[in-house]
Amino acid sequence: MAIAIELGLKAYLLHRGITDQWNRIHLRHDLSKALKCVRRAGLKDIPHGISELAGILGPLYASGALSRGMASPLMPLPPPAADRAIAELLTTVETIIADRKKGGV
């Protein structure tokens, strides 16, 4: 879940002209910071639950605790709702990027 959120947020930032190098230096794996940057870059329709997921998963993901299996976070959403929120985030970003390629916004 943390990786999907990170990739969705960073894809939007790349689309808005923020470089991968900048993301690596300034955001690293900080999901809350990435979410703030995405909002500043103009993404308005953040699905309900993404902020909460970023707040819980972000520190554990950044520290490596999730990948080492050293954390069992108390999730703010049930898994199906978390999956829907992440899928909605990814779909939103994908739609924005596709619209831009077609000459839209």
pLDDT at 105: 54
pLDDT at 101: 74
- The pTM assigned to this predicted structure is 0.89
What are the sequence ranges of the domains in the chain?
2-101
pLDDT at 64: 87
Mean per-residue pLDDT pooled into runs of 10, the chain (105 residues) = 96 96 95 97 95 94 84 89 98 93 66
What residues have CB less than 8 Å from 94, skipping those under 6 apart?
A: none
Specify whether the CB–CB gap between 34 and 40 falls below 8 A. no
